[in-house]
Structures are given as structure tokens and as C-alpha cells.
Amino acid sequence: MDNQRKVIALGFFDGVHLGHGALLRRVAQRARELDAVPCAFTFDQSPAAALTGREVPLLTGVGDRTALMDSLYGIREVIVAPFARMQSMDWRDFVAGYLKEAHHAVHVVAGHDFHFGCRGEGSPERLAAECARLGIGCDIIPKVELDGITISSTYIRTLIKEGRMEEAARFLGHPHRLSGPVVHGSQIGRTIGAPTANLLTPEGVIAPAFGVYAARVRVLPDYPGRQPYLPGEGPYLAVTNVGVRPTVNPTLSGVTVEPWILDYSGDLYGRTICLEFYRQLRAEQKFASVDQLRAAILENAEQTRQYFAAKERTPC
């Protein structure tokens, strides 16, 4: 694709929420009109974290960002740029040298608050003017609101931290997701009839509030490569615990994300799974005995089945 004409969405796209979707849909539209490749540009790290020095948890790692843009909006190529390099680049060089010369951009799409280049001197207005000078098309997308609230990664991050997954999904346009390899855990779940997959979450990516969730899981293909998007095996229903497992972990050490995948049998160690969170069933709690824990998990499994059965009966 290196020499193909591209229409490129510009932004960080953390979470790939409905606000981002407005840009990405426009990219797909322009790409069809111009017979070009629909692309997106993103950074390898959070600009907010890099600029402030504060820890800013991400909604999605690069892999999930890429898969969401592909599967939901038909983005065929994602350009992952080092933020340190972009931060030091003159804004004009970014447009003329990086977008036009290096990536053959014939049209770009950016949000109303997109800033770029050294000291953030590149603005939507400057982007539009420079694109016009270079003969590149440019769309600037206004802010997107839902229920009078501006859709932003910051707001969605708050919802997820509070375990409000259904509300988060409304603003995302899809369930919150985590993907990663399955690693060996304590295997306590096997002893109580609820074997879980211990998900190794990407570094710096947020997990929901501690609790038990109704979720779905897909087992992703084993071979490398991210394009085209493939959904993998599933989806399977899953009861998913996020937290420190206080009943069986008295030291409360180590946060884990552990789905018990219902009606699934097979060895998942080393496989990559994609976990989608739909609803918090209860907060994490310490039970008086392992038997009480097991009874609660079985009840949560039945709640999960009922939740998804009701969703299938509810018209869109």
C-alpha cells in the first residue's frame, strides 16, 4: 500500500468512540469517491501522558484500536507514528513531507480540536489552509455529542472506571474491549468447577471497576498480521472477574482479568482472546468460604445467560 493514494483520518483514536466514528466514516466516504485507500493515523503513546508526564490510562491498545477501526469503519491501513518524532516536527513538514510525500495523502480528515507538530502549533485552521495550498482535500469534523455530552475518551474512561459498561458502550458505539494472550494463573477456578482464562492485559490499558461482568469472548487467529480484520472463534459467553480475588487471595496482590468462558473446552494458554464487557453483575466481594464463592459464580453464569438471551429478544 506504500505507493497508493490515501485518505487519512488524523487523531489518537483511543477507544474508537462515536466521535472518532464521525471522522472514520468520512474517511471511508472520501476514499470511495477518490478511489483511494481509507487510512488512519495514530500515535504509539498517549499524547496527554507524554505532554504532562502524568499516567493516563488508555481505553485501547494499538491492536484493539486497529481492529475496531477496521471492523467497524472499514479502515484498511493504520499508520502508527512515534509521538516523540511527531512532537518535534514542524507542522508544515508534517502536512507536506509526512502526509503528502511519505504517505501519499490526497485527502485528510481531522477533528475540530486536532493539534499537531512542534509545540502543537498545527491547528485545524492551519491544516485546512496548508492542504488547500498543496492540493490535498481536507474535512474538519465538529464535536459530536450524545445526550448533550461531548463524546470524549476522558468521559468514557470515567464510565469504565465506575463499571458503567452499558453507558460506556452507548458513547463508544461498541462494548468496551480488552485483548491479550492467556497466561497461567493460580488455577483455583478449576478446583471449583469454573476454570478461568487469565488475560494478560496490555500495559497502560484501563480495566473496568473491580467486579463481575457479563461478557463475550472471541479467540483470535494465531497467525500474525492485523489486516484484514478477522473475528476469530466465537463469540462465547463469559462470566468475567476483574480485581484481586479477595476470597482466595488474602494478600490482595495483583489485579487480574479472568473470564470463565461458558460452554467452551480447549487449551487457551498462549492464545490471544478479545474480551467484550457488557454489564457489571456485582461488585467484587470477599466470601466466607470457597463454597459460597462457587455458588455466587454459578449464579452469575445464569445471570449472564439470561442477560444475553434477553438482548437477542430485544429488537435493535
**Span 73-93, pLDDT tens digits:** 999 999 999 888 888 899 999
Last residue within a domain, chosen from 146, 167, 185: 146
For the segment 8-34, what is each residue's pLDDT rounded down to a tens digit? 999 999 999 999 999 999 999 999 999
* Identity of the residue numbered 205: V
The reply to whether 1 falls in a domain is no
Identity of the residue numbered 19: G
CA distances (Å), 93 to each of 101, 134, 141, 277, in order? 10, 12, 22, 41
| 256, part of any domain | yes
Domain with residue 246: its CATH number is 2.40.30.30
Specify if 294 maps to a domain: yes
Among the listed ranges 43-52, 184-193, 259-268, which one has the minimum average pLDDT value?
184-193
Same domain, yes or no: 189 and 100: no
Arithmetic mean of pLDDT, 128-141: 98
Considering the domain architecture, whether residues 109 and 190 belong to the same structural domain is answered as no
Asked whether the beta carbons of 277 and 257 are under 8 A apart, the reply is: no
Query: Average pLDDT in the 148-164 region?
Result: 96
**Helix, coil or strand: residue 90:** coil
- The residue-averaged pLDDT of 43-56 equals 81
Q: Cell 495550498 identifies what position? A: 133
The answer to whether residues 116 and 199 belong to one domain is: no
In-domain check, residue 139: yes
Measure the CA–CA gap between 40 and 139, rounded to whole angstroms.
14
Residue 160 lies in a domain: no
Q: Are residues 48 and 88 in the same domain?
A: yes
Q: What is the average pLDDT across 204-229?
A: 81
Q: Is the pLDDT of residue 184 over 90?
A: no
Give the C-alpha separation, 226 to 224, whole Å: 7
10 with 140, same domain: the answer is: yes
Smallest Cα–Cα separation from 200: which of 112, 154, 259?
259
Residues 124 and 180 reside in one and the same domain: no
CA separation, residue 49 to residues 61, 100, 153, 157, 224 (Å)? 14, 28, 13, 14, 29
Looking at the structure, do residues 133 and 64 belong to the same domain, yes or no?
yes
pLDDT at 252: 45
- Position 135 in a domain: yes
Mean pLDDT taken over the chain = 88
Nearest to 75 by CA among 6, 3, 144: 6
pLDDT value for 53: 77
Average pLDDT over residues 217-246: 76
Residues 192 and 125 in one domain: no
Amino acid at 173: G
CATH number at residue 59: 3.40.50.620
Q: Which residue has the cell 467484550?
A: 276
Neighbouring C-beta atoms of residue 55, cutoff 10 Å: 9
Q: Write out the H or E segment, with its range, that includes residue 27.
A: helix 18-34
* Domain hosting residue 88, numbered range: 6-146
Quote the Cα angle for 281-256-309, to 5°: 30
For residue 29, what pLDDT is reported? Answer: 98
- Asked whether residue 272 is domain-assigned, the answer is yes
Write down the pLDDT at residue 250.
54
In this structure, the answer to whether residues 186 and 277 fall within a common structural domain is: yes
What pLDDT does 188 receive? Answer: 63
Residues 185 and 277 placed together within one structural domain of the fold:
yes
Check residues 255 and 135 and name the one with the higher pLDDT: 135
* Domain end point (choices 146, 164, 194): 146
Q: 33 and 125 in one domain?
A: yes
Q: Which of 88-92, 197-201, 243-247, 290-294 has the highest mean pLDDT?
A: 88-92
Q: Is residue 251 pLDDT above 70, yes or no?
A: no
The answer to whether residues 52 and 141 belong to one domain is yes
Number of domains observed in the structure of the chain:
2
In the listed set 146, 164, 192, which residue is the last one of a domain according to the structure?
146
Of 76-85, 185-194, 295-304, which range is least confident?
185-194
